[in-house]
Amino acid sequence: MTVKSEVAAQLLEAMGYETRQEELAVSVILNGVAEGDLDAYLGGWYPVQTDMVEPLVADGKVEKAVANIQGAVSGLVVPRYVYEAGVESVADLNAHRERFDATILGIEAGTGINTALNAAIDENLADLGDWKLRESSTAAMLAQAEQKMRDGQWVTFVGWEPHWMNVSFDLVYLEDADDAGVAQIESTVWTVVPGDLKERDGDVHRFMTQYVVDTADQNDWVHAYSYEERPADEVASEWIPAHYDTVATWLEGVEARDGRPAIEAVKAHFD
């Protein structure tokens, strides 16, 4: 989500706002949004983070402003060399349990995907009854998975796209089994904002509700940032002036802090 957040930040700065970006655990980010310490979270993955976000929505502490990416996918993945060795479905995992050390690498505790994985283990779905789920931060999970893949070891872990992992690693998303709900999960990514953002700043709120990124653009950003290893601010600052038509749709009806149409402020800033 780094470039997506950077593009939003640069547009807001061009509109006259001061911005800062925080890279924190999901639970910390959501708490910050709920308390009004953070104004937007652009990575609200559903159903992976459903159990973390929905209680805050129900309490009115946060608002799901817009589905900024639709048609994404999440669930258990394996390296391609594991897939080509015959592990094509969650149902194939247990036959090779020793190769995997009967372990699934997961993300933060309390997320929807971890809840589903724990339920699958508890209910012995797809013969996962004596497997264990190793919960950790996303960064820690990916670091462990990367090390195993470098060593040619077998590993299965929670994946999702769009994400840089799909560019950096050659992964295959497993098919689900026994309706376990742990693979090939169609996902939506929500922008989550404080429940009172519309009252505090209608222009920022409107921008957030209209900031929907095309999949092709998202893939280009991921490739530039993760594969080409270009700085996020460089990718964003080059992309914005080359795509004013798209930016204009995001800023329709939005005013900059000085009262100008936001798109005019953006063009004046970047040209």
Within this chain, domains 2-71+187-270 and 72-185 share the same CATH topology = yes
**Tens digits of per-residue pLDDT, 32-83?**
999 999 999 999 988 879 999 999 999 999 999 999 987 788 899 999 999 9
Question: CATH for 72-185, among 3.30.1950.10, 3.20.20.10, 3.40.1160.10, 3.40.190.100?
Answer: 3.40.190.100
**Tens digits of per-residue pLDDT, 182-194?**
999 888 899 999 9
Q: Write down the CATH number for the domain with range 2-71+187-270.
A: 3.40.190.10
**Tens digits of per-residue pLDDT, 230-270?**
999 999 999 999 999 999 999 999 999 999 999 999 999 99
Supply the DSSP string of the chain, one letter for each residue: -HHHHHHHHHHHHHTT---------HHHHHHHHHTTS-S-EEEEEETTTHHHHHHHHHTTSEEEEEEEEEEEEEEEEEEHHHHTTT--BGGGSGGGHHHHTTEEE--STT-HHHHHHHHHHHTTGGG-TT-EEE---HHHHHHHHHHHHHTT----EEEEESSTHHHHS-EEEPBP-TT-S-SSEEEEEEEEEETTHHHH-HHHHHHHHH----HHHHHHHHIIIIIS---HHHHHHHHHHH-HHHHHHHTTT-B-TTSSBHHHHHHHHH-
Cut 0.95: pTM above it:
no
Domain residue ranges in the chain: 2-71+187-270, 72-185
For residues 227 and 96, the model is more confident at 96
pLDDT value of residue 174:
98
pLDDT value of residue 1:
59
